Amino acid sequence: MIRKSIRVFGQVQGVGFRYRASYAAKELGLTGWVENLWDGSVQIEIQGPRLQVEKFLPAVEEGSFVRIDYAEETEMDVVEDERRFRVRGY
């Protein structure tokens, strides 16, 4: 089990990115959250088995109009007892 903080840059706001992220997280059995930031990037914390976490961003980018130019990733401590994936800031 791992947890990553991911900040994503590109065409990621106003294109359904947060909802694609929520759908992908649920399909992959992951927990965490996603939130738009003031500078046009998106912040994500994602948690689950390493293999599933590695599949997450490619699954999100499959969505129409979403384009990830680059992502900054950092591993974090796992959050015990987290049960779901949330969309923040709406």
pTM: 0.92
What's the pLDDT band for 19 if we cut at 50, 70, 90?
Answer: very high
Options 18, 20, 83, 84, the catalytic residue: 18
Buried b (16+ CB within 10 A) or exposed e, 6-42: bbbbbebeeebbbebbbebbeebebbbbbebeeeebb
Options 36, 83, 84, 86, the catalytic residue: 36
What's the pLDDT band for 71 if we cut at 50, 70, 90?
Answer: very high
What's the pLDDT band for 90 if we cut at 50, 70, 90?
Answer: low
88 is catalytic: no
CATH of 2-77, picked from 3.40.309.10, 3.30.70.100, 3.40.50.1400, 3.40.190.80, is 3.30.70.100
86 is catalytic: no
Average pLDDT over residues 12-24: 92
Domain limits of the chain?
2-77
